[in-house]
Amino acid sequence: MIEIRFHGRGGQGAVTSAELTALAAIEQGKYAQAFPSFGPERRGAPVMAYVRVSDEPIRTREKIYEPDIVVVLDPTLLDIVNVGAGLKDSGVVVLNTTKSAEEVRQASGIRAKLALVDASRIAMETMGIPITNTTLLGAMLKATDLLPLSALEGPLQDRFGRIAGKNIQAFQRAYEETVVKE
């Protein structure tokens, strides 16, 4: 089973990313669950969302404490949240940033495999808004063998309808532009 934790701020789409990942996995014949973790937070407050993907039925329903993958939509969260908490030794952190791997490691203390992409720039250039959730899904897929890139197209089309094309273009660009560092 692969467990994923998304970190974002309210309104950035972390919950949507988790749902889209689970739907894509299900369409690939896998078992999946997605769920948010937030209370009465307001827009802009830190939130988390979780995804489990497995080849076998998933029986657990608890929060994910030791993720295989952590996806960070907003780089400012590194200053206020320990996004690497519980990350498995073989884990990967997918981060929206303009910094190099060395700069990220020095500032955050993260020693795990990193997948870095300027998702904010890609989102602005492709969609005209700085919402990075679908963009970072492309980066996540580049850094892992979780799902094929094409697996997200159906869920994105279903979720976003007429604007799905821009989201698909954004996550494809992120896949191409992501730098993965061990």
Write down the domain spans for the chain: 2-181
Tell me the average confidence (pLDDT) per consecutive run of 10 residues in the chain, 182 residues long: 94 92 97 84 82 96 94 93 93 96 92 95 93 94 94 92 91 96 92
Residue with tokens 């273009």: 169
Region label for 158, one of left (φ > 0), alpha (ψ between -120 and 50) or beta (otherwise)? alpha
The per-residue pLDDT for range 97-149, each reduced to its tens digit, is: 999 999 999 988 898 999 999 999 999 999 998 889 999 999 999 999 899 99
Q: What is the pTM of this model?
A: 0.93
Q: Which CATH class is domain 2-181?
A: alpha beta
